[in-house]
Homo-oligomer: A and B are copies of this chain.
Amino acid sequence: MIDCTTDFSKIRIILVHPTHPGNIGAAARAMKTMGFSQLYLVQPRLFPHPDATARAAGADDVLTHAVITNTLDEALGDCSLVIGTSARIRALTIPLLNPRQCAIQVLAEAKTTEIAFVFGQESSGLSNAELHRCHYHLYIPTEVNFSSMNLAAAVQLVIYEIRMATLLREEILPTPPQQDSLATSQQMQDFYCHLEQTLIAINFLAPSNKRQMMLRMQRLFNRTRLETTELNIWRGILTAIQRKISEDIC
């Protein structure tokens, strides 16, 4: 037999608003066959459910330990690499990876970084806003005329690639240099709030018309992947702007 001692405990699979409990079970089964265990469910329509248990076919422990959250933000928590899966290419793009490229990227960080894979609802996929929470857009190269993959099948493919990359690792992967810790998803959300307040305060942004601009900012900073020190510098800059403005007013 093949002995695969893999540790994917820092990689979580997030299903956003899954509609069919059977797909949750099938995703859990897919995860367990590939050595993954961290399942997060954002407002599942029906869970727990007998269909989920049936389709899990023995991966009950993955279901039992699934974390259920109200928002994607909660599910992302302290992740600092977030990868969104979508079959639709958007107008305002974020860096695109195919599953193989993605596996290499993930593997380079899987020992030190909390990583999230985000999968959208069966019928509609990820919204633009959800996809812009992600650093990378993972694109499975399906047929153009029939790109509708089953949710659990997509999960299966993506994590299979990570598993394969792990098994092939010694040959294909350079070790990334030691770097400063990366900002977590929650830290970035707090930063965006701070940034938005400040942009409004300097009259750059109208509160009524801020959405598109803030999406652009997310896209830009997600591409950068701020280190914690850099994040702190930015928070300092924003605070300095706010202080300067109130100082000048007084």
Residues of A within 8 A of B (CB): 1-4, 26, 29-30, 32-35, 55, 57-59, 89, 93, 95-96, 98-100, 139-144, 146-150, 152-153, 156-157, 160, 163-164, 167, 173-177, 179, 199, 201-204, 213, 216, 220-221, 223-226, 230, 233, 236-237, 240-241, 243-245, 248-249
Contacts and interface: CB of A to CB of B under 8 A. Distances in A.
B249 A149 contact: no
Given A164-B100, A176-B96, A233-B213, A144 B203 contact: no
A240 B100 CA distance: 43
B220 A223 contact: no
Nearest to A225: B223
Given A89-B177, A224-B223, A233-B213, A149 B33 contact: yes
Top 10 closest A-B pairs, CB basis? A248-B248, A204-B240, A224-B224, A202-B244, A33-B142, A202-B240, A96-B176, A153-B156, A32-B146, A35-B143
A26 B55 CA distance: 13
How many copies of this chain are found per oligomer?
Answer: 2
A141 B173 contact: yes
Given A98-B173, A141-B164, 20 more contacts: A2-B141, A3-B144, A4-B141, A26-B153, A29-B148, A34-B142, A58-B148, A89-B174, A89-B177, A93-B176, A96-B176, A98-B174, A139-B174, A152-B153, A199-B237, A199-B240, A202-B243, A220-B230, A223-B224, A248-B248
A167 B230 CA distance: 39
B237 A57 contact: no
B141 A30 contact: no
Contact of A143 (B4, B26, B57, B164): B4
